[in-house]
Every structure is written in C-alpha cells, then in structure tokens.
C-alpha cells in the first residue's frame, strides 16, 4: 500500500476512531471501467445496493454504473435520494410486500423482477391504478445448472422464481396482463462460480 493511502487511513483513524470503514472510490471506479472493458461494453453494470447501502458510496457510483439493483423499497428510496432516475432501478428478490410493489410502481421503478404469477398480477393491478405500464422481468428457476458453482440454486424447489417446468403456463397468464410489459428474464442459477466454461 502506498504511503499516501497509509496516511489517509491514519488520518481517518484519528478523526473518526476505529474501527471505521474507509473507501477509496477511485479503485471502485476503475473496477467498473475494467469490467465494462473486459466484456467489450456488451453488458451494463448493475450495483446491488444490499452489498453496500452507504449513501456516499452510492453517490460516487451514480453515473458510473448503469443501474441499481434493490431488494426492498427502502433501498430504492436511498437510490432516489442520491438523484438516480427511477427507471435506473431494478427491484428484485423474493418476499416483496404488497405495499412495496405499490410504491415501486407509483415511483416508476424501471424493472420489477416478478418471482411468481401472483406478483406479476399485483404489479399489473397497481400499474392500472396509476395509469402506467410497468416494466417487469420474470425470474425463472432453471432445472439444471452447470457444476463448479459453490452454491447451486437450480433444480430444486425454491422461493426464487417460477420453476422452469411451469414457465410456459405462467408466461401465458402474464402475457395477458394489460398494464405490464415483459422486458426479459432473470435467471440466477448459482453463485461463486470462477470457472469460465461453467459461467459461459
């Protein structure tokens, strides 16, 4: 670690005491740019607010990441508080409460990840109330996932998404909803995968 960083950490320790969190945001900015470069700018980068909801961190990422992924409406409020556009928010995760869905639709959140047909129906109802079209993604729980992931989310009953074998019937119902627009799918088969072939 270079001496300027060491001195910064010492100064923070004197000023704020220890333990303290100190963020070198230039490093975060560089990581985002490197991630985009490695993938040839073919993908957008989304920041999971649950990983660090610190308002200062979020402000520094505004304009550098493409979207913010939230798991509660309280997290969405934090993102809105830093000046992000509602359409740059994706609301994902199981267990969304009805009031959270209502507020997300009312606020104009860009994408709501629906874990079930019932959730999509609720979003549609609130979109009708506020006379708008709500963008949704449908989460699919896949039948299979590649090996080499430390946590495998596929091929077993889960609170995460619609089981792949029920997908066709579910999409038939969702496609008839008048106040939602199906923008795509959310599939999360596993985590902690460092094997490139498995990821591909």
**Which one is the CATH code of 20-199: 3.10.330.10, 3.90.1150.10, 3.40.640.10, 3.20.20.10?**
3.20.20.10
| Contact call for residues 77 and 106 (beta carbons, < 8 A) | no
Provide the residue ranges of all domains of the chain, joining segments of one domain with +: 20-199
Q: Compute the mean pLDDT over every residue in the chain, rounded to the nearest whole number.
A: 91
Q: Work out the pLDDT band at 153, boundaries 50, 70, 90.
A: low
3-state helix, strand, coil in the chain (%, to 5): 45, 20, 35
CA pair distance 181, 185, nearest whole angstrom: 12
Contacts of 187 (CB under 8 A, 6+ apart): 139, 140, 142, 161
- Residue range 163-184, pLDDT digits in tens: 888 999 999 999 999 999 999 9
Strands 111-114 and 162-163, bridge-based pairing: unpaired
Burial (CB count <10 Å: 0-12, 13-18, 19+), residue 112: buried
């Amino acid at each position: 670690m270079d001496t300027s960083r060491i001195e910064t950490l010492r100064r923070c320790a004197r000023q704020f005491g220890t333990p303290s969190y100190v963020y070198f945001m230039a490093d975060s900015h560089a990581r985002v740019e490197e991630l985009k470069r490695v993938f040839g700018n073919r993908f957008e980068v989304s920041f999971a607010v649950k990983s660090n909801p610190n308002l200062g961190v979020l402000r520094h990422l505004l304009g550098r990441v493409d979207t913010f992924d939230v798991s509660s409406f309280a997290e969405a409020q934090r993102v809105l508080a830093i000046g992000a556009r509602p359409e740059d928010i994706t609301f994902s995760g199981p267990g969304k409460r009805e009031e959270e869905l209502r507020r997300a639709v009312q606020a104009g959140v860009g994408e709501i990840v629906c874990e079930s047909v019932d959730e999509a129906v609720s979003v549609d109802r609130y979109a009708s109330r506020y006379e708008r079209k709500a963008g949704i993604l449908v989460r699919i729980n896949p039948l299979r996932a590649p090996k080499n992931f430390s946590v495998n989310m596929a091929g077993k009953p889960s609170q995460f998404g619609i089981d792949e074998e029920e997908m066709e019937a579910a999409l038939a119902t969702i496609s008839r909803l008048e106040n939602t627009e199906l923008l795509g799918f959310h599939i999360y088969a596993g985590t902690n995968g460092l094997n490139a072939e498995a990821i591909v």
